[in-house]
Each structure stands twice: as structure tokens, then as C-alpha cells.
Chains A and B, each alone.
Chain A
Amino acid sequence: MPDVDGNNFENLEELEYQLGVLARSITAEDRRHVDPPSDLFLEITGQLANDVPPSMPTHLHHNATDIPTRLRSVPPVESDDIPRPSAMSARSRFEPTTATGPSSRTLWLGLAAAALALLAVSALTLRNFQSDPTGTVVAAASITNADLPVATDSTATAELIDVEGDLRLDVAFENGVLPEGSGNYYEVWLIDDNLEGMISLGVLNAEGRLDVPDTVDPAAFPNVDISVEPLDGNPAHSGQSVLRGQLSF
């Protein structure tokens, strides 16, 4: 395209001329749009559903990847094919929509559910947590098994990290690992002191890092809870907590 100043009438004349030349060269083939194969969108969502946090060490992969429930976060990935202007720090999450919409969206959620059903929960061998030098620890909790419905010898610590305004919760196991289960997975929650509200931070994967939505005030939901959840598609807390602790700010 010619380098034109849009406010200059003379240059708009030039633009009109150039676009006119281009328009007159448009062919019928240029106007003809062929639809992609009907299963292509399913392939796209299927590929996105398999995204895992890029920093997960590959040697911790087992038969299946850890797929967050409801595609909670597909993290941004750097690619040379994407032009890079100034950095943006917007975080994004999938929210399940309950309204009717295009069938492609239904396929995506259906695909996520099918993929989750194939998930084989394996022993979580969380690494010893090292503080991220670029983040600030704003709260910590010791999370233990005392008086909880599901028994374990494991204990863990949770740290709330602030990285340039974005919050995440890092869970690290101090001894042992959570028991391996078939047909279930571990989910991390923040619960308020009144036991009235709880927020799911998502599936606990081997990395142990969970984003905290920026609409959540963790001081209002200071109780970290890890529950054993069945693969039944029910998003509610199962009631089967295995580890719990309160964040100290």
C-alpha cells in the first residue's frame, strides 16, 4: 500500500486511484470463499485443549496431559509467526457459557469433557518450590491433613505470589506426594472464613502453580483447600478435602 497521510486530500486521491486499480483487478475467484473442512474447528479446539503451561518439565508428563477443568486457562505462547508489538499482560480465562450459541462452541466444551474423561491421574511429584525472583510473596500457608475426610501423610506449603499485579498460588509438597487415584483429580480452592464462598483455582498439576483471578481478593478467601474430585463433570466441591490451610498475610 502506498504511504499516505489520511488527512491530506491529495493523498486520498492517490489512495482512491490505487484502490481503484486494485479493485478493477479483482476476479471472480478472489470473491469465492471456500469453507474449510467441517471438522477443522474441532481440530483447532482439540489442539488448544491439550495446551499445558509451557514451563511444565517434560519428564513429568505421563500418559495424559493435565487438562484444567472447563479449559480454565490456555496460557499465551510465544511464536515467531505472531508480530510482537508492545507487551501486554492481560490474563485470560475460559468461562463456560450456559447460553445457547454456535455449535462449534458446544463441540469445544464437549471435547474438553471427553478429553477430561481420558485423563489418568498420576502421582504428583511436585518439585521443591523455589521462589520466583520476579515475584513477591504476599502470603503463605502451611496446608495439612488434620481432621479431613481423605487421609494422607503428605504436607504442603502454599505461597501467594504477586508478579507485577498478577497473583498466583504456588503449592509445594514438603514430604511425600498425594496418593495416586484413578478416575479422580485434585482441585485447589480458596474459601472464605464464613464458609459462604469458595473459588476454584483449578486442577492441581505437577507444576503446582495456579492463577488467582484478578477479581478475587485472597484476603477475603484466605483458606486454601485441596480436594479430591471425581471425573463426573460436576464443578461443585466434592466435600472430599485432603489438605487445607489458612494464608497468613
Chain B
Amino acid sequence: MKLATFTGSASAIVGDLGRSAVAESRAPVPVDDVESRFRDGDEQALAHVYDQHGSLIYSYCVRRLGPDAARDVTQEVFVSAWRARHRFDPSRGPMRAWLMGITKNKIIDLLRKQGRRPEVAHGADVEQESDAVDGIQTDRMADRMVLAAALAELPDRARSVVELSFYQQMTHPEIAEATGLPLGTVKSDIRRSLLKLRRQLEDGNA
């Protein structure tokens, strides 16, 4: 069948119809599910992920590598993460843990390239060297930074309860008495929070 030649104005209209038809037939994705949209290739989700986690990644890199290398590694982390987005599954683990895993691998690569041993966490922050018990892969500095961020994200009541346990080392009955909350509430707040915190510290996508 022979097609008529498109005129400029007709094709402009046809082009818009064709494109909007394609856009509307895509399956809807929850608007607030940034991590799923990232995996699905939404470029706006990359910007959100960078806004959410860029500072943590960069700060960790600065402490381990100094500001110059930190800039390069941070860039590589987000470029690599975007290119590997199809391999990230939000149901397996949080984005932050996945990004930190990528970051650690890139730091190891860089240290090896520089002839430094990644088994010992060299870096700008000399005081923290002794914290890297098994090297960068199990870097306690990274864990502390992530835990601090994850604690700040807990709901207010749960965070208060957890902080009494962590920092005051109170028992659950003591916490219940101090807060006036039922013991069962204290225990369930603690339990849910511990599971959340552990999830943040482990890379389920590794």
C-alpha cells in the first residue's frame, strides 16, 4: 500500500498523537517509588537518587580517598549504577546499600591501581584506619555512617526507643518505664527497627 507524502503540518499532528499513544500505554508505576523507577530507567529517578544518597557516598569517599579521588569515584558510582540499573531489585535490598557496595568496589579498584592494599583502609582520615577490620569490604566507618543515616530515618517514637537501648543501654522494661509505653509496644518498636537497620546495612542486591 502506498503512503501519501506527509506534509509538515499534518506530520506534526500525527507525530504527537503517535507519541502520546505510546506514552499512555506504558504500565503505571507508583509515583513515590523512586527506586523502582530508577530500575525502570526513569531519568528523573536518577536525579532523586543522587539527591538522596550523593552526599553520603561522596563524604565516605572523601574520608577514604581525599576530595580529588572522591569526586571521580562518586561520579563513577552513579554512572555505573545507572548503567547497571536493570540489575537492581528494590525488593532485595535498599538503594543506599547497593550504592555503598558499588562504592566500596570502586575504592578497592582505585587502591589496587595505586598499588595500595585495600585490606587496610588507607585514606585521608588516619584515625579511622584501625576501624577497617577486614579492609574496605567490611569497613566499620561505612557501617557507622550508614547506621547514623538509617537511625535518623526511623519514625520518631521508634527512634527514641532504640536510642534508649543503644545509647543508654536500657533494658526493654526500663525503656517502658522511662517512656510510659507498654512493654509490648517497646518490644515491637525495637524488633521492627532492628530489622530495618539490618536491612540498611546489608546489600541484598550483591
Do A and B associate with each other?
yes
- In contact, A34 and B62 (Cβ under 8 angstroms): yes
What is the count of residue pairs linking A and B with beta-carbon distances less than 8 angstroms?
226
Chain A interface residue number, banded: 35 or more
Q: A27-B144, A238-B8 are in contact. Are A215 and B54 (CB under 8 A)?
A: no
- In contact, B202 and A88 (Cβ under 8 angstroms): no
Q: How far is the CA of A29 from the CA of B151 in the complex (A)?
A: 15
Binding-face segment, A41-49, A60-68, A176-184: A41-49
Selected contact of B54 from candidates A15, A41, A89, CB within 8 Å: A41
Binding-face segment, A116-124, A132-140, A157-165, A191-199: A191-199
Q: How far is the CA of A148 from the CA of B2 in the complex (A)?
A: 11
- In contact, A200 and B19 (Cβ under 8 angstroms): yes
Is A151 in contact with chain B by the CB < 8 A criterion? no
- In contact, A92 and B86 (Cβ under 8 angstroms): yes
Q: How far is the CA of A162 from the CA of B1 in the complex (A)?
A: 25
Q: How far is the CA of A148 from the CA of B3 in the complex (A)?
A: 10
Is A57 in contact with chain B by the CB < 8 A criterion? no
Selected contact of A19 from candidates B82, B191, B197, B206, CB within 8 Å: B197
- In contact, B201 and A26 (Cβ under 8 angstroms): no
- In contact, B4 and A246 (Cβ under 8 angstroms): no
Query: What's the minimum C-beta distance from B151 to chain A, rounded to whole angstroms?
Result: 7
Binding-face segment, B98-106, B113-121, B177-185: B98-106
Q: How far is the CA of A101 from the CA of B50 in the complex (A)?
A: 14
Chain B interface residue number, banded: 35 or more
- In contact, A36 and B55 (Cβ under 8 angstroms): yes
Closest B residue to A83 by beta carbon equals: B206
Chain B residues 1-60 with CB under 8 Å of chain A are 1-8, 10-12, 14-19, 21-23, 25-26, 39-44, 46-48, 50-51, 54-59
Selected contact of A30 from candidates B23, B144, B191, CB within 8 Å: B144
Residues of chain B within 8 A (CB-CB) of A94 are: 41-43
- In contact, B56 and A33 (Cβ under 8 angstroms): yes
- In contact, A36 and B166 (Cβ under 8 angstroms): no
Query: What's the minimum C-beta distance from B177 to chain A, rounded to whole angstroms?
Result: 18
Is B109 in contact with chain A by the CB < 8 A criterion? yes
- In contact, A93 and B41 (Cβ under 8 angstroms): yes
A4-34 interface code vs B (CB 8 A; 1 in, 0 out): 1010000010011001101111110111111
Closest A residue to B151 by beta carbon equals: A23
Which 8 pairs from chain A and chain B are nearest by CB?
A: A92-B41, A236-B15, A33-B55, A198-B18, A23-B166, A197-B18, A237-B11, A36-B58
By a beta-carbon cutoff of 8 Å, the part of chain B in contact with chain A is 1-8, 10-12, 14-19, 21-23, 25-26, 39-44, 46-48, 50-51, 54-59, 62-63, 70-71, 74-76, 78-87, 89, 92, 101-102, 105-106, 109, 125, 140-141, 143-145, 147-148, 151, 165-167, 169, 190-191, 194-195, 197-198, 201-203, 205-206
Q: List 12 A-B contacts (CB under 8 A).
A: A1-B201, A34-B58, A40-B75, A41-B54, A85-B92, A105-B47, A108-B43, A195-B3, A195-B14, A198-B18, A237-B14, A239-B7
